[in-house]
Structure 1
Amino acid sequence: MTQPASPPVPPLSQRSHQPDATAPDGSEIRLLVDGRHAATKASLCEVTLPAGQVSRPVWHQTVEEIWYVLEGQGRVWRSPPAQESAAIKPAPVGPGDALTIPTGWQFQFSAATFPLLHLAALARSR
Structure 2
Amino acid sequence: MSRFATMPLPAAPTVTAPDGSAVRVLLSLAGGSMAHFELAPGQTSQAVSHRTVEEIWFVVAGCGEMWRRQGEHQEVVRLEPGVCLTIPVGTHFQFRAAPTLPVSAVGITMPPWPGEDEAVPVPGHW
Q: TM-score range by the shorter chain?
A: 0.7 to 0.9
- Cα deviation, 1:2-43, whole Å, max 9, x if unaligned, reads xxxxx3522212211111110010001101112xxxx01201
Q: What's the secondary structure of 1:90's corresponding residue? A: strand
Shift of 1:83: 2.7
Partner of 1:64: 54
Partner of 1:26: 20
Please state if 1:121 is matched with 2:115.
Answer: no
Distance in 2, matches of 1:11 and 1:89, equals: 37
Distance 1:125 1:9, change over 3 A: closer
Partner of 2:119: none
Q: Which has the larger radius of gyration?
A: 1
Partner of 2:121: none
Of all paired residues, the percent bearing the same amino acid is 35
Give runs of ≥4 in structure 1 deviating > 4 Å.
none
Distance in 2, matches of 1:8 and 1:65, equals: 24
Distance in 2, matches of 1:71 and 1:122, equals: 17
Shift of 1:125: 1.9
- Is the 8 Å Cα contact of residues 19 and 47 (structure 2) preserved in structure 1? yes
Partner of 1:83: 72
Q: What's the secondary structure of 2:5's corresponding residue? A: coil
For structure 2, the 5+ residue unaligned runs are: 113-126
Of Structure 1 and Structure 2, the greater strand share is in 2
Number of aligned residue pairs: give it: 112
Partner of 2:44: 54
* Residue identity in the other structure for 1:53: Q
Distance in 1, matches of 2:27 and 2:11, equals: 15
What TM-score results when the alignment is normalised by the length of structure 1? Answer: 0.83
What TM-score results when the alignment is normalised by the length of structure 2? Answer: 0.83
* Residue identity in the other structure for 2:21: S
